[in-house]
Amino acid sequence: MIAIEVIVPEGLQLSTEAEEVVIPTQAGGIGVRHGHIPLVAPLKAGAILFKGTTLPNLAVESGIVEVTPEKVRLLLDSAPHAVDRLIKERELAITRADAMIPAMTRPTTSMPATPGKGLLRFARKRKAPPLGTPPTPPA
């Protein structure tokens, strides 16, 4: 097990342990277990996954991760959100949007059903003058 600390501007938010933690860094996702080589890396927006524990995954926006062989310290710019809650909110928004679709009406257009054919007919009727001919003024 590796110790994990989540620190936000207000202070320590979470101190726990997990078998592995998967962290989204700007260089790509990294999996960290006990004994990992030390590193410091900037985070990118994504989900922090805790493996081997009952902790919910966390959505983060930005920050820095510091890894030592015994500990992972996540220094976040803002408080993380539980990913499960964000997924439920997104699904609720999709359900609401789907319910609104039948109430919407599609505007009618005078365009032909097959795209492009009306434009071709218009181009055939209107003959372009040969190159180099000055344009004729409208009558």
Within a domain: residue 20? yes
pLDDT grade, residue 45 (50/70/90)?
confident
Could you tell me the residue range of the domain that residue 32 belongs to? 2-83
Residue 55 in any domain: the answer is yes
- The answer as to whether 37 is a domain residue is yes
Enter the pTM of the model.
0.56
79 token code pair:
């408080």
Q: What percent of the chain has pLDDT over 90?
A: 25
Residues 113-128 have pLDDT tens digits of: 555 555 555 555 556 6
Q: How many domains in the chain?
A: 1
Is residue 40 in a domain? Answer: yes
What CATH number corresponds to the domain at position 21? 2.60.15.10
Residues 6+ apart with CB under 8 A from 39: 65, 66, 67
* Tens digit of each residue's pLDDT (9 = 90 or more) over 53-81: 887 788 888 899 999 999 999 998 877 76
Provide the percentage of residues in the chain whose pLDDT is more than 70.
65
